[in-house]
Amino acid sequence: MLYNSRRSTIPRIPVTTLARKLRAIDYFTLGWGTMVGVGWLVIMDDWLSRGGALGTVLGFLIGGALLLPIGWVYGKLVVAMPDAAGEVAYTSAVFSRPVSFATGWMMTLAYFIVCPWEAVAVGRIAAYILPSLDSLELYRVAGRPVYLPHLVVGLALTALLTILNYRGVRLSATFQNWTTFGTFALFIVFVALGVSRGAPANFTPLFTHAPAVSILLVIQIVPYFMTGFESVGKAAEEASPEFRAHSFYRAIRMAIVIGIVFYASIVAVVGFVAPWRQLLQEKFMTAVAFQQAVGARWIVNVILAAALLSLFKCFNGNFVAASRLFFALGRRGMIHARAGSVHAEYQTPSVAIVCVGVATAICMLLGDAILVPVTEVGSVACAIGWAAACAACLALARSRPELIRLSAAEKMIATFGLLVAIAMGLMKVVPLIPGHFTMYEWIALAVWIAIGALAGYRQISKREKQSTSALH
């Protein structure tokens, strides 16, 4: 039993529900903001090395368009089942508990893994602004140095977002809105300038491999960089009382479409403003390309400001989604029950939030070495979650029509989404396909699966002991 402050000893019922304060615009900024981070600045060289200027643009256009059926499925599911558990809730309605747990655990990875990625990236961006931060090397991971100032900056941002989310979803949503629309405004400014200074000749080479291979290598990473639209469902329990359910799907659809436009546009502009092939060795080739085109340092400052705002919102959005899934797993008894507790005053999943914050701080100690492997593992994790959600939608339509009804055409859309998700997962794990997992990605994935297996086993053992005690 919980009690009030020292002024009163009147018992108060423990809070078990989350605060309902989110509006339609909050769900859009959560979905799009969770999706778009700073990959367009930090690893643009990796993108263009994979596909070339045209190959990368086509990769994002095609890969993003293939996600629209999956987004449609999520829209149907979140309206039918507005549960913070997301994929856990959808799959548990028709599949076994182990399948539901495995799906939720992989989707938690898809969101959580972005958090240390952004915490590391903020140190790199800060060091570009203040080169003196590239000092006081502590150690190396996979040959890459880890600097103390980078760690301090990343840990400070992690602590800030942990506190922000701990104290209330309204604070977090307001932060997400300001950073999202700030990113839009600055993006329009530097893209307009870039287009006015570029030349078509800079766009070559159009592909770095055969056209089909170039596009495929980019499509492989699209799931990671487009993950986020489905985060709308993770905050479904926090909708304000006057919120209309159909707005969930509208927010998801807008997040995907604007995400596609954003990624394709930024790649096209970077390829247009400067000869990109000559800039592949630059630390932040996006910023360098614009500086060469405009001939002034101030454009770099605009780009870095946009990148920082984008990083903050992406970090925050994925933090929200990861903590809600972690909370949902705890509430359903799939991991330690304390993870499913709600703060009495702030009505936030406080324990889950602290766990995500601490785990982010630990993982970012690996430094820059995690950037590209994290991209690869995150792509597979979210593809697994998407496939499970589509399969659950089709199964629910057959077994529980009171929840979801699908016409013949709608079943085809859901089936197509399932096939797309499966294909995106296989593209990274089948050895015969170019761009498949390396040893580092397999190790990262194996570690996460092992942690999940241990957590699940402990809960199963605990339930068996409780059942035995009850019988006696």
- What's the pLDDT band for 17 if we cut at 50, 70, 90? confident
CA distance 169 to 178: 14
- What are 38's two structure tokens? 């700073």
* pLDDT of 247 strictly over 90: no
CA distance 57 to 333: 44
- What are 171's two structure tokens? 């604070």
CB-CB contact of 232 with 27 (8 Å): yes
CA distance 228 to 32: 7
Which tens digits make up the pLDDT trace of 212-234? 999 999 998 888 788 889 888 88
Token pair 């999943």 is found at 349
Query: Mean per-residue pLDDT for 406-414?
Result: 94
CA 436 to each of CA 53, 148, 204, 406, 411: distance values in angstroms, whole numbers, following the listed order: 22, 33, 26, 35, 31
Share of the chain above pLDDT 70, in %: 92
CA 250 to each of CA 64, 92, 147, 312: distance values in angstroms, whole numbers, following the listed order: 16, 25, 43, 24
CA distance 74 to 456: 26
Q: Is the peptide bond before 205 cis (omega within 30 degrees of 0)?
A: yes
Please report the DSSP string for 77-132 in residue order: HHHH---TTTHHHHHHTTS-HHHHHHHHHHHHHHHHTHHHHHHHHHHHHHHHHSGG
Burial of 409 (0-12, 13-18, 19+ CB in 10 A): exposed
Q: What is the pTM of this model?
A: 0.83
Q: Is 350 helix (H, G, I), strand (E, B) or coil?
A: helix
Give the pLDDT of residue 372: 64
Burial of 469 (0-12, 13-18, 19+ CB in 10 A): exposed
- Angle (nearest 5°) at CA 434 between 447 and 104: 35
CB-CB contact of 214 with 55 (8 Å): yes
CB-CB contact of 326 with 355 (8 Å): yes
Phi/psi class of residue 336: alpha, beta or left (left: φ > 0; alpha: ψ in -120 to 50)?
A: beta
User: Which residues have C-beta within 8 Å of that of residue 330, sequence separation ≥ 6?
Assistant: 336, 337, 338, 339, 340, 341, 351, 352
CA distance 227 to 416: 18
Query: Mean per-residue pLDDT for 200-205?
Result: 88
* pLDDT of 240 strictly over 90: no
Dihedral of alpha carbons 213, 215, 217, 219, sign: negative
- Residue 426's identity, in one-letter code, is L
- Residue 26's identity, in one-letter code, is D
Which tens digits make up the pLDDT trace of 275-330? 888 888 887 888 888 888 888 788 888 888 888 888 899 898 889 889 989 998 98
User: Which residues have C-beta within 8 Å of that of residue 427, sequence separation ≥ 6?
Assistant: 216, 219, 220, 433, 435, 436
- What's the pLDDT band for 1 if we cut at 50, 70, 90? very low
Which tens digits make up the pLDDT trace of 129-185? 888 888 888 888 878 888 999 999 999 999 999 998 898 878 888 888 899 998 888
